[in-house]
Amino acid sequence: MTFLIAGAGPAGARLAAVLSEAGREVVLVERLTDPHRNSFSSAALSCGEALRLNLPHSAWSATWSGWQLLDPSGQEHQWWNDDPLGVVLDFGRLRSEMWSRARAAGVEVVTGCTARIEALQSDSARVLLQHGDGRRQHRHVQWVIDATGSSRCLLREASVPPPSLVDPLLEGVGVEWLLQADDRVSPRWLDRISFFLGTRWIPHGYGWVFPMENNRLKVGVCCLAPEQIRGSNSDLLARLQALLRNCKLEGCSVLDRHGGVVSSSIARRESLGSGALLAVGDAASTANLLGGEGIRHAIDSADLLAETLLNAEGLNQVGRNQVGADHADVVRQTYEKALHRWFGWRWRAAGKLAQRTWWGLDSSSADRRVERIIRGLSRTSSARDLSNLLFHYRFERYGLRLLRYLI
């Protein structure tokens, strides 16, 4: 059985490696030729999750033990833990390691290339590969996987219905610069991840500073606003430059500039494929909009899809005459149910909280609400509590206070 995966980000590369390690024939297609290019991802996650997902230590750029929130007035609030709570990944290095694992497993990795669906049936697909040098190839495969991220290229080509108006795609747009700091300015930002909340920093969003090795800093802003009032990229750039000035980082050398879009539905009621086409990672709405986190959720979706596809092969051996042309629909529905079970109610609550927070962050009254929440967290939460809230969506200890905020 042959699988073709379009997109070699964390989800696509992980899925390719797992399927190939299970003895399947896999083609991984990626438009980039260099894994270090276009490496937009703030890439902060907990140490426990990095270990659970077996992310290579070579991609761990820095660890952090503290949280730092700057409220709408500019006041700093800090929470510290004795041991490291999380890591910041070098995304280019992570992607490079994941491509290497895929190649070592026997995956055919085709870079500098895009994939387009020419024909799609319930049991196979014909895909056109368009290389950067003008060459064109046709591949006939049993399954084609859209791992193209928020662009959802293959889903759109196949006219898979988008999310409904009841549960639409919410979109966040961000810009991030990689800075080279020095010993004079970096200590304020090391060993902690910092967030900037309030309209003073950016309406309908937040800013951040994440530390990396060798005094490098990731500094960015993002906006999650209703489509009708969404600003331009130049507005985001102006906000980022203002943040740099406020943090006295405007004199740092800029090593890289990048940006990206994160989109996701809250309840993920949308179809994740059609016929022999399935989606994984950000294309399957696995990015969480509360903090823009996507890497670990994308990898989890890849592991769930790999398990679903491998388990489905036994059913497929029974024969189409018995399971019918609905086999692909059964596989897709099984995968969608697995995602819902894995992410659960916490995911939906986090999505609702993100929408409520970022859409509503546009006034002085919203700023005052944010300040009250931060003061409440300062009184009642430890650094580990904050990690459990923002990375694992552990809302229980906040009970009715959070419920009132969501309503």
291 pLDDT tier (thresholds 50, 70, 90):
confident
pLDDT at 289 exceeding the cut of 50: yes
Cβ neighbors of 298 (< 8 A, separation 6 or more) are 9, 10, 11, 14, 280, 281, 282, 286, 287
Query: Looking at per-residue confidence, does 172 or 24 come out higher?
Result: 24
Class of domain 68-91+167-265+355-406: alpha beta
pLDDT computed for residue 116 by the predictor = 97
Cβ neighbors of 250 (< 8 A, separation 6 or more) are 241, 244
Q: Mean pLDDT throughout 167-171?
A: 82
Comparing 3-12, 198-207, 273-282, 392-401, which segment has the lowest mean pLDDT? 392-401
pLDDT at 315 exceeding the cut of 80: no
pLDDT at 166 exceeding the cut of 80: no
CA distance 47 to 391: 11
CA distance 237 to 258: 11
Q: What are the pLDDT digits (tens) for 78-90?
A: 999 999 999 999 9
pLDDT computed for residue 402 by the predictor = 55
CB contact at 8 A, 361 and 370: yes
Listed by start position, the domains of the chain span 2-39+92-163+271-344, 68-91+167-265+355-406
Q: Mean pLDDT throughout 287-303?
A: 91
CA distance 250 to 247: 8
Q: Mean pLDDT throughout 374-390?
A: 91
Q: Mean pLDDT throughout 122-128?
A: 96
Q: Which of 165, 164, 148 is nearest to 278 (CA)?
A: 148
- 89, HSE (Cβ side, Cα atoms, 13 Å): 31
**What pairing do the DSSP bridges indicate for beta strands 25-30 and 108-111?**
parallel
pLDDT at 137 exceeding the cut of 70: yes
**What pairing do the DSSP bridges indicate for beta strands 76-80 and 66-70?**
antiparallel
- 406, HSE (Cβ side, Cα atoms, 13 Å): 15
pLDDT computed for residue 230 by the predictor = 64
17 pLDDT tier (thresholds 50, 70, 90):
very high
CA distance 202 to 362: 9
Q: Mean pLDDT throughout 45-61?
A: 96
Written as one letter, the residue type at 1 is M
CB contact at 8 A, 272 and 336: yes
pLDDT computed for residue 71 by the predictor = 96
What backbone torsions phi and psi does residue 20 show, to the nearest 5 degrees?
A: -70, -40
| pTM of structure | 0.93
Q: What are the pLDDT digits (tens) for 334-359?
A: 999 999 999 988 888 888 888 888 88
pLDDT computed for residue 231 by the predictor = 64
- What's the topology of domain 2-39+92-163+271-344? FAD/NAD(P)-binding domain (3.50.50)
Strand partners, 211: 217
pLDDT at 406 exceeding the cut of 70: no
User: What share of the chain has pLDDT > 70, as a percent?
Assistant: 92
Q: Which of 61, 64, 59 is nearest to 46 (CA)?
A: 64
Q: Which of 158, 121, 122, 144 is nearest to 324 (CA)?
A: 122
CA distance 46 to 354: 20
Q: What are the pLDDT digits (tens) for 229-283?
A: 666 667 899 999 999 999 999 999 999 998 888 888 888 788 999 999 999 999 9
Q: Which of 37, 55, 364, 354 is nearest to 198 (CA)?
A: 364
pLDDT computed for residue 319 by the predictor = 44
CB contact at 8 A, 27 and 5: yes
pLDDT computed for residue 324 by the predictor = 44
